[in-house]
Amino acid sequence: MNTVSQSTARYVADYDSIASQLPGSGLSWLQAMRTRALSQFSASGFPSPREEEWKYTNVAPIERKMFLPRRAIPGSVDIGLLGRYRLPDAFTLVFVDGGFDAGLSNFSGLPDGVVIAPLSEALGRFPELVRSRLGGCIESEPHGFISFNTAMFSDGVLVVLPARTVLERPIQLLHVATQPESLCTVRHLIVAENSAKGEIVESFVGQEDLSYLTASVCEVDIGENAAVTLHKFQAETAKAFHFGGIYVKQAQHGRFEHHNCSFGGLLVRSEIHVGLDQASECLLNGLFLGSGRQHVDNHTRVDHFKPYGISREVYKGILDERARGVFQGRMIVHQDAQKTDSNMTNRNLLLSVDAEIDTKPQLEIYADDVKCGHGVTVGQLEEELVFYLRSRGIDEPSARNMLTFAFANEMVEKIEYESLRSLVLEELISRLPQASAIKEWL
Amino acid sequence: MLRIENLHVSVEGKPILKGIDLNVKAGEVHAIMGPNGSGKSTLAHVLAGRPGYEVTAGRVWYQGKDLLAMAPEERAREGLFLAFQYPVEIPGVSNIYLLKAALNAIRKHHGLNELDAMDFLATVKDKTRLLDMDEQFLYRAVNEGFSGGEKKRNEILQMAVLEPKLAILDETDSGLDIDALKIVAQGINALRSEKRAFILVTHYQRLLNYIKPDRVHVLAHGSIAKSGDAGLALELEKQGYGWVEQLADAGA
Ligand SMILES: Nc1ncnc2c1ncn2[C@@H]1O[C@H](COP(=O)(O)OP(=O)(O)OP(=O)(O)O)[C@@H](O)[C@H]1O
Ligand SMILES: [Mg+2]
């Protein structure tokens, strides 16, 4: 057992003083769940690099700080920033420092039967539904961030897409940090019943150059034949810490698609864990950029439990300056999962000699009749391509930039949701050198 | 326009070009022929400024300037164009994006305004039609998944849009079907003027049936073994390279 850090002890000690303000504090089952999670967190603390799944990421900088649960006085929201990251055509729920902000949100005009409600409200309106689902997609031995989130979640969303409903407009969960040392512990619960279909975007942004911690957990329960597309758009501040875990359970013939765009943050860990049933399909796309001293960790896990599942995973990283990237992709084909068809690719571009990537695809195959592949590349731009562009009159820095942009843009183009795609594109361009030149070419 | 004097080039310490002399005037078409491995592409690459080649002796003058001192992009902006023997695929960069970036870089170099987006598109579409290419090619990634012939045609499309002063076409005819060859030749002929020069690297007379060269040179073992008029290409077609190579060996 780890010796827990001072901050862990403090979070635990201070818990009683905030417990009554947390949503659902009157529900005994939830209280019990939170208490259990707190004692797990108290024992484990935040994960340590000694744990296999955290080998390449040391969260000590998070432990050295003490982030504060939601304050009584909300911070003032930068409307301009919010406007920039708000998707104009989505149902939008805004979370300010982890708390739901009704005034800034807009999700009126929901189709019949569709539930979109802040979790704080949902616990009052649909306590039994939440009770039966909350934690259902999370693995049996949650690590410190998950327990931390369960104990502390300050709000979140409950989305229920009833059977056979197709939600035409996407839902955006827009998280904004407005106060220094704040804590964004949101917990989202997304349920797509049989044959339902919907699209959700999680956006994470922060104001100015605040330092804060996001520790979010999102559970996605996909029914038979249902289809969910989930996007993560992470553009936290340069001093922010981010943990975002997504845990997905798919029923037979369910379809899950995830696009993970990771741009910001000082220390970032994204987890996407998906469990597939018979003939379910899962598509994981990821693009991560790092510069300065950013550390960006992507941990994915795909469990094929039953036959005929299909999974496709492509992660691309671009690391510059002293940035460090991690790709840990586990693909587990269980004994029952015959005829699984899975593929995982991780390609990385290192733009500076000081940039680093640890990439570790792990295939664990316990079934014998499967088709599984994986590939990893780490490298610089191909000089032949640079020369080709230069031979057409394009100067060398622009040529390198164009190729770097192209490398990333391939992932952006996989996003079908148009207003999100243009937002991602803009963010990508703004983070590459020679942003204005790229804009001119487009 | 282009004057090559006693050019010696090595790759990884191995001498490939061993004293090339060539003089190309504006308005002329020169054909360079020669057996596989004789150094034709090496010459083309060196002229375009590809890194990795060591010029051990000689000079190259282009429009009165020292070509070898110029960066590849500078050469291109000054009107030199190389159609590659093996064009690379560039995933994620669309043809139209490349054409626009290239054309604007060249225009900027000459103090011209960027082309208006509508005008640019109109021009490019014109050239696409000229080469009988589907407009859809413009929006595909550069050469990605293109067939061999499509890649070659795409090089000529770039040439048509960029309107170079000196175009070096490295085996653009190889891999083209009979109809495509005719179309590509038309594309080249459409650009011919007394201000432009062409160097056609080719193995076959068939391209030269459409584009009559002013001079034909045979490269063998890294030097020009024989030069002549258009008749030389016909003679080579009949007799092969053997006799020229013997000449070269005798001379060496
Ligand atoms: N990077 C390299 N390293 C070693 N040798 C090289 C390299 N590049 C070219 N060469 C050699 O230089 C010689 C000339 O090659 P080049 O490509 O110029 O021939 P070519 O005349 O264009 O032939 P082809 O008609 O087949 O296109 C060949 O023997 C080739 O193997
Ligand atoms: Mg060649």
Q: What is the per-residue pLDDT across A176-225, written as a single tens digit (0 to 9) for each?
A: 999 999 999 999 999 999 999 999 999 999 999 999 999 999 999 999 99
**Domains contained in chain A, number:** 2
Mark the residues whose beta carbon lies below 5 A from ion ligand 2: B 40-41, 85
- Measure the CA–CA gap between B42 and B35, rounded to whole angstroms: 13
**List of chain B residues whose C-beta atoms are within 8 Å of the C-beta of residue A442:** 97
Residue type, B78: E
ipTM: 0.96
Give domain status of residue A29, yes or no: yes
Least-confidence region, from A27-31, A89-93, B156-160, B236-240:
B236-240
What's the confidence (pLDDT) of residue B252?
47
Determine the pLDDT at residue A83. Answer: 97
Last residue of one domain, picked from the residues A251, A277, A303? A277
CATH class of B2-251: alpha beta
User: Nearest residue CA, atom 24 of ligand 1?
Assistant: B36
Check A441 against B97: CB less than 8 A apart. yes
Q: Determine the structural domain holding residue A430 and report its residue range.
A: 387-442
Asked whether residue A326 is domain-assigned, the answer is no
Chain mean pLDDT for chain A: 95
Query: What pLDDT is attached to residue A70?
Result: 73
**How far apart, in whole angstroms, are the C-alpha atoms of residue A267 and residue A294?**
6
Residues of A in contact with B51 (CB under 8 A): 383, 387
The domain limits of chain B are 2-251
- Give the mean pLDDT of chain B: 93
Ligand 1: nearest atom to the Cα of B40: 21
Query: Measured between beta carbons, which residues in chain A are less than 8 angstroms from residue B72?
Result: 387, 390-391
Residue B156: band (very low, low, confident or very high) from pLDDT cuts 50, 70, 90: very high
Q: Which ligand is nearest to the CA of B34?
A: 1
**Contact A414/B at CB under 8 A:** no
User: Tell me, what's the pLDDT at B236?
Assistant: 85
pLDDT for the residue A1: 43
Those residues with Cβ within 8 angstroms of residue A256's Cβ, 6 or more apart along the chain or in another chain: A220, A222, A227, A228, A229, A230, A248, A250, A274, A280, A281, A282, A283
Residues A228 and A92 in one domain: yes
What pLDDT, on the 0 to 100 scale, is given for residue B251? 53
Residue B171 CA: which ligand 1 atom is closest?
Answer: 27
Among A277, A311, A334, residue at a domain's last position:
A277
Q: Nearest CA to A228 among A283, A272, A187, A174?
A: A283
* Residue A374 φ/ψ, nearest 5 degrees: -155, 155
User: What mean pLDDT comes out for the span B171-199?
Assistant: 93
Tell me what pLDDT residue A6 has: 87
Is A217 part of a structural domain of the chain? Answer: yes
In this prediction, residue A3 carries a pLDDT of 62
Question: What average pLDDT does range B43-47 have in this prediction?
Answer: 97
Residue A29 forms contact with B (CB below 8 Å): no
Q: Is the pLDDT of residue B142 over 70?
A: yes
Q: Is the pLDDT of residue A71 over 80?
A: no
Q: Using the beta-carbon criterion (under 8 Å), do B90 and A389 form an inter-chain contact?
A: yes
Domain end marker among A257, A277, A297: A277
Q: Does the residue A199 lie in any domain?
A: yes
Nearest ligand, measured from the Cα of B17: 1
Predicted local distance difference test score (pLDDT) of residue A442 = 67
Nearest CA to ligand 1 atom 16: B39
At B250 the pLDDT is 60
pLDDT digits (tens, 9 = 90+) for A50-60: 999 999 999 99
Query: B127 CA distance to ligand 1 centroid (A)?
Result: 32
Separation CA A358–CA A55 (nearest Å): 10
Q: Residue B92's closest chain A neighbor by CA? A: A406
Are A392 and B93 in contact by the 8 Å Cβ rule? The answer is no
Query: What percent of chain B clears pLDDT 70, i.e. is strictly above it?
Result: 98
Does residue B157 register a pLDDT over 70?
A: yes
Among A271-280, A285-294, B225-234, the minimum mean pLDDT is found in: B225-234
Q: Do B162 and A440 touch (CB under 8 A)?
A: no
In chain A, which residue's Cα lies nearest the Cα of B155?
Answer: A392
Residue pLDDT, tens place only, B99-112: 999 999 999 999 99
pLDDT at A225: 98
Claim to verify: residue A271 and residue A394 sit in the same structural domain: no
